[in-house]
């Protein structure tokens, strides 16, 4: 008998009385499932890692870069990728101005939005005529549709200076006289035609009466050394007291 036969016999005698446990097959199957599960889990983790590594460059390419970053800098050529380069004009066709098509192109500087010039209250002057002078600052009320045809006239010297302003229009006419100086009283400002009347302007005594020629007038001393006379005719005569109340010399 050779050595191989002796070994087989010894092994057979060794395991002759051995018997497999009832759960051996179940244990084998359970261990096999665990092994398969571990292999699948390892392969899944490895595949996810590969996908994540592959997505990093793609995310970097789509990630928004801050303004001024090298990725957003304009190309060195200076031509935007969203605008086609300008083509040279065809021979014989004049080139358009760079400002053509832009807001405000063709407008004269300083003219756009400028308010119309003209007389008091924003009324434009008649074409070909100079702008009408505005009332002095010490005249705060005038009836509508009145305009000054000439600037206020100033006469006299250092002792007595007289300023006369006149307005005319569809509402009648108004003339305001301011006297500044010394040596005159209330009766000296404007002689009244007919019987004089008495009134007051902002609490100051005044004299009323018919004006020279037509209309009505009222005169008063606004303060020492300053006298005022208001004359009105036509429709403006009905506003005589209101005009006088608005004179603040």
| Residue extents of the structural domains in the chain | 143-245
Q: Mind listing the pLDDT tens digit for each residue in 38-47?
A: 898 888 888 7
Highest mean pLDDT among 72-76, 144-148, 216-220: 216-220
Percent of the chain residues past pLDDT 70, beyond the cut: 64
Secondary structure of residue 91 in the 3-state scheme: coil
Model confidence at 242: pLDDT above 60: yes
- Quote the strand ranges of the chain, DSSP E: 146-147, 153-156, 160-169, 172-181, 193-201, 204-210, 216-223, 226-233
Which two three-digit tokens encode residue 195?
A: 């019987």
- Average pLDDT on 116-122 reads 38
8 Å CB contact between 109 and 99: no
Query: pTM of this prediction?
Result: 0.49
Q: Mind listing the pLDDT tens digit for each residue in 72-86?
A: 444 444 444 444 555
Q: What is the pLDDT of residue 124?
A: 46
Q: What is the pLDDT of residue 149?
A: 79
Helix (H) or strand (E) holding 50: helix 24-62
What Rg, from alpha-carbon coordinates, does the chain have? 55
Model confidence at 186: pLDDT above 70: yes
Q: What is the pLDDT of residue 75?
A: 45
* Alpha-carbon gap, residue 49 to 44, rounded angstroms: 9
Does 60 or 2 have the greater pLDDT score? 2
Helix (H) or strand (E) holding 4: helix 3-15
Taking the C-alpha atoms of 185, 190, 194 and 199 in order, what is their torsion angle to the nearest 10 degrees?
-60
Percent of the chain residues past pLDDT 90, beyond the cut: 35
Q: What is the pLDDT of residue 99?
A: 42
Q: What is the pLDDT of residue 2?
A: 77
Model confidence at 143: pLDDT above 50: yes
Angle formed at CA 178 by CA 166 and CA 170, multiple of 5 degrees: 20
Q: Mean pLDDT check: name the lowest of 53-67, 101-115, 127-141, 169-183.
A: 101-115
- Average pLDDT on 167-195 reads 90
Model confidence at 69: pLDDT above 60: no
Q: Mean pLDDT check: name the lowest of 24-33, 194-203, 210-219.
A: 24-33
93 CA to centre of own chain: 40
Does 72 or 87 have the greater pLDDT score? 87
Q: Mean pLDDT check: name the lowest of 6-20, 28-42, 175-189.
A: 6-20
Beta strand pairing call for 204-210 and 193-201: antiparallel
Secondary structure of residue 2 in the 3-state scheme: coil
Exposure class string for 197-229: b at 16+ Cβ within 10 A, else e: eeeebeeeebbbbbbeeebbbbbbbbeeeebbb
């Amino acid at each position: 008998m050779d050595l191989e036969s002796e070994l087989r016999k010894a092994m057979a005698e060794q395991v002759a009385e051995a018997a497999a446990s009832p759960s051996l097959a179940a244990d084998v199957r359970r261990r096999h499932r665990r092994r398969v599960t571990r292999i699948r889990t390892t392969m899944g983790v490895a595949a996810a890692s590969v996908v994540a590594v592959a997505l990093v460059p793609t995310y970097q390419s789509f990630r928004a870069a801050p303004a001024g970053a090298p990725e957003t800098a304009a190309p060195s050529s200076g031509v935007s990728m969203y605008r086609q380069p300008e083509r040279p004009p065809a021979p014989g066709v004049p080139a358009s101005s760079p400002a053509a098509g832009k807001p405000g192109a063709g407008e004269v500087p300083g003219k756009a939005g400028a308010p119309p010039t003209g007389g008091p209250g924003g009324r434009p002057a008649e074409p070909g005529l100079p702008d009408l002078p505005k009332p002095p600052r010490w005249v705060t009320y005038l009836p509508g549709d009145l305009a000054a045809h000439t600037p206020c006239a100033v006469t006299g010297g250092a002792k007595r200076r007289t300023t006369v302003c006149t307005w005319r229009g569809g509402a009648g006419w108004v003339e305001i006289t301011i006297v500044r100086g010394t040596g005159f009283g209330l009766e000296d400002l404007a002689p009244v035609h007919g019987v004089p009347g008495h009134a007051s302007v902002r609490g100051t005594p005044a004299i009323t009466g018919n004006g020279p020629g037509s209309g009505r007038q009222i005169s008063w001393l606004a303060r020492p050394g300053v006298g005022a006379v208001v004359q009105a005719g036509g429709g403006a005569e009905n506003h005589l007291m209101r005009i006088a109340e608005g004179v603040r010399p």
